[in-house]
């Protein structure tokens, strides 16, 4: 059933985009009710509106905390047009019916981001706004509601196309959006207080739904919720898939660890190549050399500008995605030669503060693993050389970004062998050694990082046999002494960190 919009209540914090809505309503002969800054905005357009105070006979009080919380306002929103008792109350109490409610919410999340001043944050907890939005959405059979400026343009189009009328189905869609806005707002407020008190339930609300072609596999439906445009500008290529997004997340996390020129290659969330160097060209060549086979179809990321010379080299490889902070113009032209290749301009570093996942019938949540080592305890036959120390620090970071059980072998600040996702630590080392051999790397003088302690000295023995000279691992096994003694007896450097880096 269509409803003609004859009256509207408008009270918004954000005025941008509001003018076309107000002008359209005025041209359709709609009576507009408003208050405060919105009333001033409308009157500045030379468009008449009725102050809410004239309806309620109450001014805005308590510093603006109470403006619209009044039976004559909520009665006008909630009155059911086909209920005789409701309509009698409207007549008895002089309540003006409201057909359209346009209300947004105080910027609570933005305020939390920009200040730690508690009183400023508290004042941005909207009371009247959510109440009016919920009331209008509840009564969508008779009332239309707009709860976000993103819907202004759609409202204008509908009103113009339908001569000031909205259908029940359209009102229902707007109501669903409105409830979503209020729910998101309430979750943000609840989480602000829950973080301060450390109590309560797990709550999450993420807007901006993007339907994906499919999930991990073609038979699985999928969607992404979030604001990708705040992190990236897509310059070329097809839409990001579910698996693409998972790998992009892993890529962004590892590259954020490094300050000097770095290049990393990600495949199924694991690092298959990564290197630090004095320039981006060398970093790319060294990262690719670590495992050129796995790099095929991977996700590439660097923290440096890509120039034409480097672009030409990268262009020789088939890859899914390249993420960079900047492209030279000539480089971009080269890399755009493949229409499906995804090129992302990264606007800001990304490393989450918290992580969560569904487990059984609940949710696991934890702080993100942002550390490298808790302490640096030399327990081998000798102290590390400066070169070994730099390589060990790098290897430990790389190992943190491999699925457990994980081993990273590093030489000259590049990954030369890796073992990941193995059910035993010795198998992870076997895999890492085999990878190094496969691509022609000598492990003489290389270093080894393990994401967790060695339960036996078998890894130290294998490492020594391959020419590895230094090991970094968290320690903590009841048999740490076995590994420590073996390293001391065989001239190896051994660093214990006290910080495990499991990744499942």
- Please state, in angstroms and rounded to a whole number, the distance separating the CA atoms of residues 449 and 15: 56
Cα–Cα distance between 441 and 493 in angstroms, integer?
21
Question: What percent of the residues of the chain are helix, what percent strand, and what percent coil, each to the nearest 5?
Answer: 40, 20, 40
C-alpha to C-alpha distance for 71 and 209, rounded to whole angstroms: 36
495 dihedral zone (left: phi>0; alpha: psi -120 to 50; beta) = beta
**Would you name the residues annotated as active-site residues?**
138, 268
What lies within 8 Å, CB to CB, of 236 at 6+ separation is 332, 335, 336, 339, 341, 342, 343
Any idea how long the chain is? 504
Phi and psi at residue 270, in whole multiples of 5°? Answer: -95, 150
What are residue 110's phi and psi, to 5 degrees?
-65, -40
Nearest-angstrom CA–CA distance, 382 and 489: 10
Instruction: Answer yes or no: are the C-beta atoms of 275 and 413 closer than 8 Å.
Output: yes
For 386, residues 6+ apart whose C-beta sits below 8 A from its C-beta are: none
Helix H segments across 259-376? 280-289, 308-314, 329-335
How far apart are alpha carbons 337 and 341 in whole angstroms? Answer: 8
């Amino acid at each position: 059933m269509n409803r003609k919009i004859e009256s509207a209540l408008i009270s918004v914090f954000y005025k941008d985009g509001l003018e076309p809505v107000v002008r359209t309503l005025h041209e359709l002969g709609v009576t507009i009710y408003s208050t405060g800054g919105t009333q001033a905005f409308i009157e500045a357009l030379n468009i008449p509106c009725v102050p809410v105070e004239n309806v309620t006979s109450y001014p805005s009080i308590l510093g603006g905390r109470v403006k619209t919380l009044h039976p004559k306002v909520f009665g006008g929103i909630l009155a059911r047009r086909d209920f005789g008792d409701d309509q009698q109350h409207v007549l008895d109490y002089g309540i003006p019916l409201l057909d359209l409610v346009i209300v947004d919410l105080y910027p609570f999340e933005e305020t939390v981001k920009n200040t730690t001043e508690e009183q400023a944050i508290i004042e941005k907890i909207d009371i009247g706004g959510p109440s009016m939005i919920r009331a209008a959405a509840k009564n969508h059979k008779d009332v239309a509601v707009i709860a976000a400026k993103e819907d202004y343009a759609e409202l204008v189009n509908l009103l113009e196309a339908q001569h000031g009328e909205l259908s029940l189905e359209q009102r229902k869609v707007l109501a669903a959006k409105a409830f979503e806005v209020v729910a998101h707002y309430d979750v943000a407020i609840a989480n602000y207080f829950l973080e301060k008190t450390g109590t309560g339930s797990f709550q999450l609300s993420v807007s901006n739904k993007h339907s994906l072609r499919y999930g991990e596999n073609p038979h699985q439906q999928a969607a992404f919720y979030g604001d990708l445009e705040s992190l990236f500008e897509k310059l070329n290529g097809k839409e990001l898939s579910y698996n693409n997004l998972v790998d992009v997340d892993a890529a962004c996390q590892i590259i954020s660890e490094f300050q000097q020129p770095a290049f990393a290659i990600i495949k199924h969330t694991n690092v298959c190549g990564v290197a630090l160097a004095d320039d981006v060209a060398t970093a790319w060549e060294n990262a690719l050399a670590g495992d050129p086979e796995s790099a095929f179809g991977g996700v590439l990321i660097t923290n440096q500008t890509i120039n034409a010379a480097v672009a030409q080299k990268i262009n020789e490889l088939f890859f899914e995605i390249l993420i960079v902070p900047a492209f030279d113009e000539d480089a971009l032209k080269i890399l755009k030669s493949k229409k499906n290749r995804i090129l992302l301009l990264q606007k800001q570093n990304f490393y989450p503060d918290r992580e969560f996942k569904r487990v059984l019938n609940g949710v696991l949540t934890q702080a993100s693993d942002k550390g490298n080592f808790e302490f640096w305890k030399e327990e081998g036959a000798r102290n590390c050389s400066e070169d070994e120390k730099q390589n060990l620090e790098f290897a430990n970071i790389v190992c943190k970004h491999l699925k457990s059980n994980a081993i990273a072998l590093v030489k000259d600040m590049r990954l030369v062998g890796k073992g990941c996702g193995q059910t035993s630590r010795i198998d992870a080392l076997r895999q890492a050694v085999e990878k190094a051999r496969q691509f022609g790397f000598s492990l003489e003088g290389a270093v080894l990082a393990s994401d967790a302690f060695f339960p036996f000295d078998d890894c130290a023995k294998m490492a020594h046999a391959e020419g590895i000279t230094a090991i970094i691992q968290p320690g903590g096994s009841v048999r740490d002494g076995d590994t420590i003694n073996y390293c001391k007896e065989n001239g190896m450097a051994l660093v214990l960190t006290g910080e495990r880096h499991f990744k499942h």
